[in-house]
Amino acid sequence: MPRLLQALAGAPEGGAEMHFLRLCVALKRAGVEQRVVVRPHPKSLEVLRAGGIEPVTARFGGLLDVKTSRILKAEIADFRPDLALTYMSRASAAMPKGDFLHLARLGGYYDMKYYKRCDHLVCITPDIKAYCAREGFPEDNIHVIPNFVEDRQAAPQSRAALDTPEDAPLVFALGRLHENKAFDTLLQSVALLPGAYLWLAGDGPLRQKLEQEAARLGVAERVRFLGWQHDPAPFFAAADIYVVPSRHEPLGSVVLEGWMYRVPMVAAAAQGPGWLVGDQEDGLLVPIDDVAAMAAAIGRLIAEPQTAERLVQAGRQRFEEGFTEQVAVARYLELFDRLLSDKPPLLAQSAG
Structural domain spans, the chain: 3-148+324-351, 160-322
Q: Using CA atoms, how far apart are residues 99 and 95, in angstroms rounded to an integer?
A: 12
DSSP 8-state assignment for residue 6: E
Contact 117, 127 (CB under 8 A): no
Q: What does the pLDDT read at residue 350?
A: 42
Would you state the pLDDT for residue 345?
Answer: 56
Global pTM exceeds 0.85: no
Cα–Cα dist 93/113, whole Å? 9
List per-residue pLDDT tens for the chain, 352 residues long: 899 999 999 888 777 888 899 999 999 999 999 999 999 999 999 999 999 999 999 999 977 889 999 999 999 999 999 999 999 899 999 999 999 999 999 998 999 999 999 999 999 999 999 999 999 999 999 999 999 988 988 999 999 999 999 999 999 999 999 999 999 999 999 999 999 999 999 999 999 999 999 999 999 999 999 999 988 999 999 999 999 999 998 877 889 999 999 999 999 999 889 989 999 999 999 999 999 999 999 999 999 999 999 999 999 999 999 999 999 999 999 999 999 998 765 544 444 3
CA-to-CA distance for 23 and 333, rounded, in angstroms? 12
Q: Identical fold at 3-148+324-351 and 160-322?
A: yes
What pLDDT is stored for residue 348 in this prediction? 41
* SS3 of 219-256: CHHHEEEEECCCCCHHHHHHCCEEEECCCCCCCCHHHH
CATH architecture for the domain at 3-148+324-351: 3-Layer(aba) Sandwich (3.40)
Q: DSSP code of 279?
A: B
Instruction: State the distance between the two ends of the chain, measured CA to CA, in whole angstroms.
Output: 11
3-state secondary structure of 277: coil
Taking Cα atoms as reference points, which of 196, 225, 158 lies closest to residue 302? Answer: 196
| DSSP code at position 32 | -
Distance (Å, whole) CA 198 – CA 208 = 16
Domain 160-322 has CATH 3.40.50.10860: no
Confidence at residue 347, expressed as pLDDT on a 0 to 100 scale: 45
Residue 163 DSSP symbol:
T
Residues 6+ apart with CB under 8 A from 279: 285
Phi-psi sector, 86: left (phi>0), alpha (psi -120 to 50), beta: beta
Cβ proximity of 189 and 294 under 8 Å: yes
Please name the helix (run of DSSP H) or strand (run of DSSP E) that holds residue 258, with its range, or none.
helix 253-261
pLDDT at 349: 42
